[in-house]
Structure formats: C-alpha cells, structure tokens
Structure 1
Amino acid sequence: MKQILQSFKTGITELADLPSPKVKPGQVLIQTTRSLVSLGTERMLVEFGKASLIQKARQQPDKVKMVLDKIKTEGLMPTIETVFNKLEQPLPLGYCNVGKVVAVGREVTDFKVGDRVASNGQHAEFVSIPQNLVAHVPDNISDEEAAFTVIGSIGLQGIRLINPTMGETIVVIGLGLIGLLSAEMLVANGCKVIGYDLDDNKVEIAKEKGIIAFNPLKGNDPVKFVLENTNNIGADGVLITASAKSNDIISQAAQMSRKRGRITLVGVIGLDISRAEFYEKELSFQVSCSYGPGRYDDDYEFKGIDYPLPFVRWTEKRNFETVLQLISSGKIKVANLISEIVPLDEFDKIYGEIGSSKSIASIIKYNENTKLENTIVVNKKELKSLKGVIGLIGAGNFTKMTLLPALKGTGAQIKHIVSSGGVNGTALARKHNITQSTTDYDLVLDDKDVDLVMITTRHNLHAKMVTKALDKGKHVFVEKPLALNHEELEAIEETYKNNNGTLMIGFNRRFSPHTEKIKSLVGNAPMNIVATMNAGAIPSDVWVHDMQVGGGRIIGEACHYLDLMVYLTGSKIKTVCMNALGENPAENTDNASILVKMENGSSGVVNYFANGSKSYSKERLEVFSQEKTLIMDNFIKTSGYGTKGFSKLKTKLDKGHKTQFGLILEEIKKGSIALIPYDELINVTKASFAAIQSLKEAKWVDVE
C-alpha cells in the first residue's frame, strides 16, 4: 500500500510503499477513500522537518536537556547516534480519514465489513483503527464531507469547554479550518459569533456563515471591535484556534473578555500571561485536549473501555458522531471549505507548497481498487547461505537503537522484519539491507529459510510468539522478559520440551567486557553483590507499567541484574525478598530493593530506583569477595581493589550487546543459540515473579 510519511531528518515528505497493516483485536481495518490534510498541524511538522539541527534544538529545549544528561552518563558518540536514529524515524502524517471497513478484529461489536466510517486514520490506503476512534458515516454525507469529522471534533471539544449558552457572544480568534468549523457550530448553538483572521478569503467565508468577521490588518483593533459589538460588556467566551508564537493573542483574549469570561485554547500560541489582565476580571483559562475525553488514554483508545455515558457525556467518539450529525442535518456546511481534491499519487501538489498554501481544506482521493498486501520486498538479494537466516519480529526502539546497530558489520542475514503498522519496519529494512518488510509475523514462522527468530515486541506478546516459533522448529532469541506470569512460562517450558529449537533471552550484560573481567577475578567463590540501576522515572501511563502489557519494571528490566548475579556467582537464585518505597510499597515497583540469596550461599542486593538524578550513572555494580572489591560504573569503567595485577578497565559504553549478538550468529550456524543454560533462563524469570510476590506478601519467597 501507499502512505504519506514525513522525515524529521531531511524534511522530505514522501509517498512510501509499505506493507498493509493486519487488523488487530479491538480494531477495524479500513480501506481509505478520502482523507483531509490538516494544513495547520501538518505544515508545522513539515517545517520542523526542514529546519536545521540548531533550529530543531531551539524549538525543543526540553529535549536538549535530555541530550545533555545522556552525554554526561553515556558519552558523546552514543548520544549522537541515538539522536540521529530518532530523527531517522519517519512520521506518518494525517488524522482525518474516511473509508470502508474491510476486516473486523476480535472483540469489535459496533462495526461490520462494508460499513462506511470516519476515523483518525492517517494518509494511507489501509489503516487499522481502534473501534473507539471510529464512527459510522450517515448515508446522506459524501466521503469528502465526512473527512471533516475528526478536525471538526477538535473545535467541538474546545466549544464544550467554553460551555456556551444560547445568546452569548463568543469570539473565535483564527479562522482557519478549525476556526471556521467552530464558529459555524457556535452559530448553530444560538450564539452571536465574532471572528477574525489575517486572511481576507477566510473572513469572507466566515461572513457567509453568519459570523461577524473582520481582518485586523484592515484597521480594526480586535479588542475595540469586540467591545463595540457587545455594548462594552465584552465577550462571554473566547475560543483561540490561531497559531502564533507571540503573546499578543492571549493578551487580546483577556482584554476583550467580560468579567468572569472564559477563554479556551485550541491552537498554539505564546502563553506569557499577564496576571493583572486575568486577575481583575477573574477570567477562566483552559487548554483543550484534541478530540475530547478518552484522548491519549490507552484504556479507552486501545483497550476499548468506554466511559459510562451518564458520567462522561461526551467522549472523542461521541464528538465524532456529533460532528457527523451536524453535517448530516445541514447545521454545518463543509463542502464550500474544500479548496482542492487531489489524487494520492499527486500528493506533492499539496505538500510541495504547504508552507505558502492559502487553501482552507485539501482532500486526498484514493484508488479504491488497491489490494491488501501484508509483505513487500525492500531489497532484492539472494541469501548467501541457508544457515543463520533471521526473521526479526519487532521494529521499536530496542531494534532500531540497539539490536540492528549491534548486528551491523557482522554479516547477519535478515530476511524479514515485522512491524505492526509497516512504517518502522520498512524504514529499518531500507537502512539495514533487510530483504522484506511485513506486518504478518506468521509469514516469518512459516518461512523454511528462517531458522532464527528474534522477538523484540512489547512484553505481553513475548510468550505467545516464543511458543509459536518453537512449535515451528525455530531457534528463538527474545529480548527480556521471557514471560509475564507463571502460566505463560509453563506454556513455554512445555513447548520447549517437545521441540528441538533452542532459546536465548537478551541478558546482554553478562557479555560485557566489564562483567567478564569481574568474573575472571572472582571466579565462583562466595561473594556479596550490590547492583544499582538508576533507571529514571517513566510516566505512570506508559505501557511498561501495565502489568498485563509490560509486566512492570522489575519483571521487565531488573531481571538483567538477577541474571548478572546468577552469572557472577555461578549459582542459581534460591530465595528473594523485595521491599519498595512509600507507605504502600506494593504499588511502587519503580523504587525497590531485592535481597537475593543464591544456592551456593552468595548474597546480593538489586536496587532498582527511578527517583535519582539522570546526570548520575545509570548502572553500578559492586562485588565483594576474597578480600577483593570490584566496582563497575555504567559499563564504561571498572576499578579493582585488592586485585593484584589489575586496577582499572575503561572502555566506551559497552553493555555486551555486540558480543552477545556476535556469539548468537556464530552459534546458530552450529544449530544452537543456547549461550545461557536453559535452567538459568527459567530460574531468573521465576525469581522476578517471586520478587513481585514477595512485595505483595511482605515475606521471603523461595524460587521454585
């Protein structure tokens, strides 16, 4: 299929060939017929992409601070590589999509194949969209008209926050597409609407819709104009849909408001607010969040959990339906806002001139005869050998930033890369000379050429994919964790017994030269280990914290150091006890300490903390044994005390990834990737489960 992508690195907007997405549970697969270009939002993205690195940095000072912190802890070159890898990730454009349903995922109840729908899908021939972000299109609305659904909902949500009543005067600042739609909805609501914009064409369109509209450049002072048209009372509400960097607009909005007036921001403006202007009138100010309640809530958007209507009357989906109802009833007219309808193949007629475009709304028209294709060939090449051919499932940050760079120069033969949407996988296939990009991981498992499957997806998919791959006779590398609970682990163990494939988890830190040096100096003698991960805070709504999806950070990340203890002591974990910060420690696995007792009597502590400074080393390991002390700092420096003949090892940041993957490629040619004994992989996984159980039960828990 074809999809419009934006490069943040080069600024190029392209029409890319990608594999079509597969429908996911809770989602509908839509074949697009029309999509609307949001010129304001998409212009900002295109212009950001075209900006120089210095200009990009000036626009994102918070990101600059993160980069500087990363340089302090990991060094200049690894940080530069990370930044450029981020910039290389293509961005799909668009969020106003209309089409017909061609497939329905499990658990979808509101839609069937053949339904005509509007959604927040991108500019792509096929999109898979959660059902709470899709709405039925009434029969009397054309596809072009229905394309205004989502962008209309952005304005509608701003109106709902202002909460206008019939007869009130509402000012709309900025008569672009969202502004014009918002103003017309306010008129339909029985309000007196005043609007202004610097474009005469938009002002004339607004006047035709019953709006008192003017251009400030023609001599009208906005504040005086509003006061004159409200008998010097001022506006009851001000809706800001403009885009500007100055603080003039927020100041004007305050000055033209009546006492206790309401101001809502939908656009993007400078927000250096004058306290006096707001204080004297007791003004209310609120920023509107996109399409409405439910936006950016994974439970609502991706898990399909709706907000009860009696308690949350208007959600983003209900706002979609309201806009469609208004168009259907003729309360708002959108056909006269369409400036152009352009075939998808001629997309550059819109994006090539987007910086200077005077269009109100540009519509993209799609070929309705396009067929679904879940796989595309990116690089035509023949496999050098049928040993060690890789199928890579997952194209997220770990694959992009760690796995593929570590495989560079090793001669690895990657035949497939799988990604859910096809965008990231195809971009990585181009860069790393991978043969095919696909959205169908079953294709990889059924390919007889592939003997090594590497899984780097979200954690909740690991166990299912591991068992399926083993059942197909594949050798499997899975980035940690192996599983999220005992049931998943038992299924893997049963499958492993009945198949010939070998298994490896991405416990890379045991392959670091720093770990290997420590191991050579202490052997398997009894020891005490203190391992500290200064992991940094992750917002609570990120998927890693969801126990059903990410498994939490102990199971998902702290397992690295449980494995290190097994490796360094030469012994499996016998029992664990975990405690965490706060009055309700069972709810705070971000800041926890795990006491670990090994079968050979060695003892250790894993400190996993998210409340430390980012400028401090991210990882630290201290080993005490035989009157020797070894201290490893962030896999860059290891110092020895009481270690005759050794005082210091210093390298660039090396967590062992390259060595680990190099060994896997060597071993797979021999028919195995069992670099870590299978019983140790299972022991560490069970120990991570035991740590969580220990925290809940406040006691030591034996590892089975």
Structure 2
Amino acid sequence: MKQIIQDLKSGKTILENVPVPKVNQGTVLIKTKRTLVSLGTERMLVEFGKANLIQKAKQQPDKVKMVLDKVKTDGLKPTMDAVFNKLNQPLPLGYCNVGVVVEVGKDVHEFNVGDRVVSNGNHAEFVNIPKNLVAKIPDNVSNEEATFTVIGSIGLQGIRLLNPTFGETIVVVGLGLIGLVTAELLKANGCNVIGFDYDEEKVRMANEKGVTAVNPSHGTDQVKFVEAYTNLVGADGVIITASNKSNEIISQSAKMCRKRGRVVLVGVIGLDISRADFYEKEISFQVSCSYGPGRYDEEYEEKGNDYPIGFVRWTEKRNFQAVLNAISKKNLNVRPLITERIPLSDFQKIYENMGSIKSIASIIEYDDTKEPKRTIQVVHKSFQNKKGVIGIIGAGNFTSSTILPNLKKLGAEIKYIASSGGLSSTIMAKRHAIANSTSDYREIVQDEEVDLIFITTKHNMHAPMVIEALQNNKSVFVEKPLALNRDELKKIEEVYQENYGNLSVGFNRRFAPLARKMKHLLGNQNIPINIIATMNAGFIPPETWVHDMEVGGGRIIGEACHFIDLCSYLTGSIVEGVCMSALGKNPKENTDNASILLKYEDGSNAVINYFANGSKGYSKERVEVYSQERTLVLENWRKLKTYGFGTKNFSSKQDKGHYNQFRKLLAKHKSGEGSIIPFEVIVNTTNASFAAIESLKDGSWKILG
C-alpha cells in the first residue's frame, strides 16, 4: 500500500510503498477513502523536516540539553549515532481519515466489516486503529464531510474546556481550519463570536458563517474592537487556534477578556506570559490537549478501556461522535471549507509549497486498492541452501540503532524484518538492504529458509513469540527479558526441551570488552567475590509501557536483569537467593529505585542498585568488584580502573558488548555449537528477576530452587 511520510533527515515528503498493517486485538483495519490535510499541523512537521541540524536544534532546546548530557557520559560518537538514528526514523503524516472497515480484531464488537468510519489514521491506503479512536459515520454524512471530524474534535475540546454559556461573547484568534470550525460550533452553542485573522479569505468565510470577523492588518486594534463590541465589558473567553511564535497573542487575549475571563490555547504560540496581563483581572488560562479525555492514555487508546460516561461525559471518541452528529444535523457545515481535492498520487501538489499555500482544507482521494498485502519485497535476494538466514521481528529504536548496524558489519543474511504497522520495517529494510518487509511476523516463523529469528518487540510478546519460533524449530535470539512471569518461563523451558532450536537472550554486557577484561583479571580460582553494580537508569514517566507489569514487566524484570546476568558472569556461579528493598514509604510500588542483594552458590555476594532519581550527568552504569584485596571499577563501559592487580588502567570507546554478542551468536549458530549463554543460566537470571519482585512484596529472602 501507499503511505505519505516525512523524512526528517532529508526533509523530503515521500509516498512510500509499505505492507498493510496487521489487525490486532482491539483494533480495526480500515481501507481509506478520503483523508484531510491539516495544513497548520502538517506544515510545522514538514518545515521541521526541511530544517538543517542547527535549525532543528533551535526549535528543540530541551533536546539539545539531553544531547549534551549524553555526550558527557557516553562520548561523542555514541551520542551522534543516537541523534542520527532518530532523524532516520520517518514521520507518518495525517490524522483525519475516513474509510471502510475491512477487518475487525478480537474484542471489537461495535464495528463490522463494511462500516463507514472515521479515525485519526494517517494518509495511507490502509490504517489499523484502536477501537476507541474510531467512530461510525451517519448515513447522511458524506466521506468528505466526515474527514473534518478529528479537526472538529480538537476545536470542540477547546470549547469544552472554555465552558461557554448561551449568550456569552467568545473570541477566536486564528481562523484557519480549526478556528473556522471552532467558531461555527460556538455559534451553534448560542455564543456571540468574534474572530481575528490576517487572511482576508478566511475572514470572509467566517463572516458568511455569522461570525463577526476582522482582519487586524487593516488597522484594527483587536483589544479595543472587543471592548467596543462588548460595551467595555470584555470577552467572556478567548480560544486561541493560531500558530505563531509571537508572545503578543497571549498578551492580547488576556487584555480582551472581562474580569475573571477564560483563555484556552488550542494552537501553538509564544507563551512568555506577563503576570500583569492575567493578575488584575484574575484571568484563567488552560491548554487544550488534542481531541479530549483519553488522548495519550494507553489504557484508553491502546487497551480499549473506556471511561465511564457518568464520570467522563466527553471522551475523544464521544467528541468524534458529537462532531459527526453536528454535521448530520446541519449545525456544522464544512463543505465550504474544502478548497481542493487531490488524488493520492498527486500529493506533492499539496506538500511542495505548504508554506505559501492558501488552501483552507485539502482532501486527498484514494482509489480502490487490491486486497491487503502484508509482505513486500524490498531487495531481490536468494537464500536457498544458506545457513544463518535471519528474520527480525520488531523494528523499533533498538533494532535500528544497535542490531542492524552490528549485523551489517558481520555480513549477516537477513531475509525479513517485521513491524506491526509495516512502515518502520520498510524504512529499515531499504536502509540495510533487507530482502522483505512484513507486518505479519508469522510469515517469518513459517518460512523454511529462515533458521534464526531475532525478537525485539514489546516485552509481553517475547515469550509467546519465542515459544512459537521454537515450535517451528527455529533458533531464537530474544532481547531481554525472556519472560514476564513464571508460567511463561515454564512453558519456554518445556518447549525448549522438546524442539531443536537454540535460545539466546540479549544479555550483552557479559560480552563487552571491558567485562571480558574484568573476568580475565579475576581469574578462574572459584573464590567468592563482592560486586556492587549501579544503574543510574534515569526517570521514565509512569504512563510509559515499560512500567505496565502486563506489557513491560517493570524495570527490574525488564532492565535490571542485564546486571543480574553480568554479576553471574563475573562470579562464574548462579544465584541461589534474592532480596530486594525499594525507596520510599510505599516501597512495594517503587521498582524504579531499588537495591537487589544476590547470594550466589559459590558464596559470592552482589548488590545491584537500580536508581531512577540520579543526575543524567553522572555515569549511567558503574560496576565495582572486590576480591582478595584487589578492586576493579568499571565506569560506563569506557574506563576500567584496577587496584592491586599490578596492571595499568584500561579505556576505550563505549562498548556494551553488542557486536561481540552477535558475532559469537552467528558463529555458534552456523557451526551448530549451541547457545552463547547456557540455557540454565538464562533461566536462573530470569527467575532471579521474578524473585526480586516477590521479595519486595513480602519483605523476605527468596531462595531459588
């Protein structure tokens, strides 16, 4: 299928050929009929893409600080690699999509194949959208009219936050697409509406809709105009839908208001707010978040858990429905806003000159397409009779930044890369000359030519995919963690014993050059050692999927397992006891800041400090080893200091062992020698991470069987 994307590195807007997304639990697959181009939002994205590195940096000063902090701890090259990797990730454009349902996922009961629906899907021939971001279109609303639903919901949410009452005077600053729709919805709500814009055509259209619209470029003082219109009372409220970096807009908006007036920001403006403008009148100010309650809430959007209507009357989906109802009842007339209709193949007519385009609403038209095709060939290659043919499931940041560059250095044979949406896998396939891109991972699992599968998906998919791959006699490399609970781990153990594939987990730290040097210096004397390993992991917002125990497993199971394996490697033993304590008065809920004590069979002790409350300027990872009046201190995989060993210190570029890990993996796989980490060690490490969480809950030591 075809999809419009923005290349952030080259600045080009591209019509890319990608696999059709695969329908998932709680989603619907939609064949697109029409999409609406949001000129304001999409112009910002396109202009950002076209900007050079310095211009991009100026637009995102907070990101520049993060880059500088990373340079201090990780070094210049790893930092620049990370920056360019981010820029290499394309941005899908569009969020106003109308089409027909062609597939329905599990647990979706309100939609059927053939339903006409609206969603926040991209400019693509097919989109796969969670059910709470999809709404049915009334029979008397055309596809073109329905494309205004999402835009209308953005304006409607701003209105709901302003909470206007019948007869109030409301000012709309900026009469672009969202502004015009907002003004008309305010009129339907019984408000007196004043609108300001510097575009004469937009002012004309607003006046035709009954709005008192003015072009300030003709010499009109906006504040005085509002004062005169309201008999010196001032506006009851202001909704800002403009896009402008000036701070003057927010200042004028406050001055237009009556005492205790309200200002709601829907657009993007300068926000250097003067206290005096808001203080004397006690003006309230609020920023509106997209389409309404539920936006960016994974429980609502991704998991499909609706808010009870008795407590949250207007969610984003119910806002969609309200706008569609307004169009159906003729309270909102969007047809006059359509200024052009462009076939998808001619998309550049819209995107080439977005900065100068005067269109209000551009509609993209889609032809009837063939049946969904979930695998596309990117590069023609033959894999017949080859050993070590790889299929990669997961095309996220780790795959892009770490796995693919290292596999490329090793000359690996990659037949597939899969992503659920099909876009990221296609971009990576093109960049790394991978033969096929797919949105259906089972295509990889069932291909007889593929004998080694890499799994780098979200954590909750690791165990099921490992099991499926092993059952198909594939060897597997899975990023940590291997499993999220003991039931999953037990099933993996059973399947592993019954099938022929080998299993490796991405515990890469043990393969780092400086870790190998530490192991060499310690020797193989089977003498107990003490280890203190600190992960200055950094704060991750609580709503991030990693914290979800059902999806990410939390940061101990999902990330600290790295250092459990490293400690096991350095001791040469396995964990027999685990105890964990966490920070705060409610430590059972704080696995972000915890200390894990490990007791090994050989008598060694290890303490793993996993902290999220440290400075980003400090080393992210530090390992100290104490043995026989000798000490080793490893700093962030760049420096190794030795005390009492009679040797010099060691330093290198940051190397966490990924290249060595993959090199050994491919070599052992091709030779048939087995896994790079013994299976029983992998199981022990995974069980130790589970035991840490269990210990935290009841405050006791956990002994591993």
TM-score range, shorter chain: over 0.9
Question: Partner letter of residue 612 of structure 1?
Answer: G
Query: Which residue number corresponds to residue 635 of structure 1?
Result: 637
Query: Which residue number corresponds to residue 393 of structure 2?
Result: 393
Q: CA 1:597 to 1:161, structure 2 compared with 1: closer, same or farther past 3 Å?
A: same
Q: Work out whether residues 504 and 673 of structure 1, in 8 Å CA contact, stay in contact via their aligned partners in 2.
A: no
Q: CA deviation at 1:566?
A: 1.1
Q: CA deviation at 1:273?
A: 1.1
Q: CA deviation at 1:382?
A: 2.3
Query: Which residue number corresponds to residue 546 of structure 1?
Result: 548
Query: Which residue number corresponds to residue 25 of structure 2?
Result: 25
| 1:419 aligned onto 2:416 | no
Query: Which residue number corresponds to residue 686 of structure 2?
Result: 685
Query: Which residue number corresponds to residue 72 of structure 1?
Result: 72
Give the distance between the partners of 1:502 and 1:113, measured in 2 at CA.
42
Query: Which residue number corresponds to residue 558 of structure 1?
Result: 560
| 1:699 aligned onto 2:696 | no
Q: Work out whether residues 532 and 607 of structure 2, in 8 Å CA contact, stay in contact via their aligned partners in 1.
A: yes
Correspondence 1:173-192 to 2 at 5 A: 173-192=173-192
TM-score, normalised to structure 1, is 0.99
Query: Which residue number corresponds to residue 442 of structure 1?
Result: 442
Correspondence 1:49-64 to 2 at 5 A: 49-64=49-64
Q: Work out whether residues 475 and 673 of structure 1, in 8 Å CA contact, stay in contact via their aligned partners in 2.
A: no
Correspondence 1:431-580 to 2 at 5 A: 431-523=431-523, 524-580=526-582
Query: Which residue number corresponds to residue 7 of structure 2?
Result: 7
Q: CA deviation at 1:498?
A: 0.7
Q: Aligned residues: percent identity?
A: 64
Q: CA deviation at 1:525?
A: 2.0
Query: Which residue number corresponds to residue 85 of structure 2?
Result: 85
Q: For structure 1, list consecutive stretches of 5 or more residues without a partner in the other structure.
A: none
Question: Partner letter of residue 408 of structure 1?
Answer: K
Question: Partner letter of residue 521 of structure 1?
Answer: L
Deviates more, 1:665-674 or 1:592-601: 665-674
Give the distance between the partners of 1:630 and 1:263, measured in 2 at CA.
59
Give CA deviations for 1:192-213 in whole Å, capped at 9, x if unaligned.
0000100000000001100001
Query: Which residue number corresponds to residue 307 of structure 1?
Result: 307
Secondary structure of the corresponding residue to residue 521 of structure 2:
helix
Give the distance between the partners of 1:276 and 1:239, measured in 2 at CA.
20
Q: Work out whether residues 260 and 284 of structure 2, in 8 Å CA contact, stay in contact via their aligned partners in 1.
A: yes
Question: Partner letter of residue 182 of structure 1?
Answer: T
Deviates more, 1:397-406 or 1:164-173: 397-406
Give the distance between the partners of 2:510 and 2:51, measured in 1 at CA.
42
Correspondence 1:575-590 to 2 at 5 A: 575-590=577-592
Q: CA deviation at 1:559?
A: 0.5
Give CA deviations for 1:520-569 in whole Å, capped at 9, x if unaligned.
11123210111011111111111000000000000011101111111111
| 1:38 aligned onto 2:43 | no
Give the distance between the partners of 1:383 and 1:640, measured in 2 at CA.
48
Question: Partner letter of residue 601 of structure 2?
Answer: E
Q: CA deviation at 1:504?
A: 0.3
Give the distance between the partners of 2:462 and 2:683, measured in 1 at CA.
14
Q: CA deviation at 1:385?
A: 5.3
Query: Which residue number corresponds to residue 212 of structure 1?
Result: 212
Q: CA deviation at 1:369?
A: 2.9
Give the distance between the partners of 2:238 and 2:223, measured in 1 at CA.
12
Give CA deviations for 1:37-57 in whole Å, capped at 9, x if unaligned.
000000000000111100100
Q: CA deviation at 1:673?
A: 4.5
Give the distance between the partners of 2:17 and 2:369, measured in 1 at CA.
16
Query: Which residue number corresponds to residue 233 of structure 2?
Result: 233
Correspondence 1:327-366 to 2 at 5 A: 327-366=327-366
Q: For structure 2, list consecutive stretches of 5 or more residues without a partner in the other structure.
A: none
Give the distance between the partners of 1:507 and 1:187, measured in 2 at CA.
61
Give CA deviations for 1:163-214 in whole Å, capped at 9, x if unaligned.
0111100000000000000000000111100001000000000011000011
Secondary structure of the corresponding residue to residue 158 of structure 1:
helix
Question: Partner letter of residue 179 of structure 1?
Answer: G
Deviates more, 1:619-628 or 1:19-28: 619-628
Give the distance between the partners of 1:441 and 1:673, measured in 2 at CA.
24
| 1:94 aligned onto 2:94 | yes
Give CA deviations for 1:129-188 in whole Å, capped at 9, x if unaligned.
000000000000110000000010000000001101111000000000000000000001
Secondary structure of the corresponding residue to residue 408 of structure 1:
helix
Give the distance between the partners of 1:431 and 1:671, measured in 2 at CA.
30
Give the distance between the partners of 1:551 and 1:673, measured in 2 at CA.
28
Q: Work out whether residues 383 and 449 of structure 2, in 8 Å CA contact, stay in contact via their aligned partners in 1.
A: no
Give the distance between the partners of 1:671 and 1:436, measured in 2 at CA.
26
Q: Work out whether residues 235 and 258 of structure 2, in 8 Å CA contact, stay in contact via their aligned partners in 1.
A: yes
Q: CA deviation at 1:356?
A: 0.7
Query: Which residue number corresponds to residue 621 of structure 2?
Result: 619
Q: Work out whether residues 579 and 698 of structure 1, in 8 Å CA contact, stay in contact via their aligned partners in 2.
A: yes
Give the distance between the partners of 2:282 and 2:602, measured in 1 at CA.
70
Secondary structure of the corresponding residue to residue 669 of structure 1:
helix
Give CA deviations for 1:370-424 in whole Å, capped at 9, x if unaligned.
3210001111122385100000000001101111122222110010000011111
Q: CA deviation at 1:664?
A: 0.9
Question: Partner letter of residue 696 of structure 2?
Answer: L
Give CA deviations for 1:634-656 in whole Å, capped at 9, x if unaligned.
11111111113x22111100110
Query: Which residue number corresponds to residue 674 of structure 1?
Result: 675
Question: Partner letter of residue 579 of structure 2?
Answer: C
Question: Partner letter of residue 553 of structure 1?
Answer: R
Give the distance between the partners of 2:75 and 2:406, measured in 1 at CA.
17
Give CA deviations for 1:87-120 in whole Å, capped at 9, x if unaligned.
0100000000000000000001111110000000
Secondary structure of the corresponding residue to residue 103 of structure 1:
strand
Question: Partner letter of residue 537 of structure 1?
Answer: F
Q: Work out whether residues 501 and 672 of structure 1, in 8 Å CA contact, stay in contact via their aligned partners in 2.
A: no
| 1:162 aligned onto 2:162 | yes
Give the distance between the partners of 1:648 and 1:654, measured in 2 at CA.
16
Give the distance between the partners of 2:398 and 2:485, measured in 1 at CA.
22
Count of matched residue positions in the alignment of Structure 1 and Structure 2:
703
**Structure 1 residue runs of 4 or more that deviate by more than 4 Å after TM superposition:** none
Secondary structure of the corresponding residue to residue 299 of structure 1:
helix
Deviates more, 1:683-692 or 1:628-637: 628-637
Query: Which residue number corresponds to residue 113 of structure 2?
Result: 113
TM-score, normalised to structure 2, is 0.99
CA RMSD of aligned residues (A): 0.8
Q: CA deviation at 1:30?
A: 0.3
Give the distance between the partners of 2:569 and 2:251, measured in 1 at CA.
63
Q: Work out whether residues 641 and 647 of structure 1, in 8 Å CA contact, stay in contact via their aligned partners in 2.
A: no
Give the distance between the partners of 2:314 and 2:512, measured in 1 at CA.
53
Give the distance between the partners of 2:681 and 2:518, measured in 1 at CA.
19
Q: CA 1:252 to 1:191, structure 2 compared with 1: closer, same or farther past 3 Å?
A: same
Q: CA deviation at 1:426?
A: 0.7
Q: Work out whether residues 125 and 370 of structure 1, in 8 Å CA contact, stay in contact via their aligned partners in 2.
A: no
Question: Partner letter of residue 430 of structure 2?
Answer: R
Secondary structure of the corresponding residue to residue 271 of structure 1:
coil
Q: CA deviation at 1:490?
A: 0.8
Q: Work out whether residues 668 and 674 of structure 2, in 8 Å CA contact, stay in contact via their aligned partners in 1.
A: yes
Query: Which residue number corresponds to residue 653 of structure 2?
Result: 652
Secondary structure of the corresponding residue to residue 382 of structure 1:
coil
Q: Work out whether residues 292 and 314 of structure 1, in 8 Å CA contact, stay in contact via their aligned partners in 2.
A: yes
Give the distance between the partners of 1:538 and 1:526, measured in 2 at CA.
35
Q: Work out whether residues 384 and 449 of structure 2, in 8 Å CA contact, stay in contact via their aligned partners in 1.
A: no
Q: Work out whether residues 207 and 213 of structure 2, in 8 Å CA contact, stay in contact via their aligned partners in 1.
A: yes
Secondary structure of the corresponding residue to residue 307 of structure 2:
coil
Query: Which residue number corresponds to residue 246 of structure 1?
Result: 246
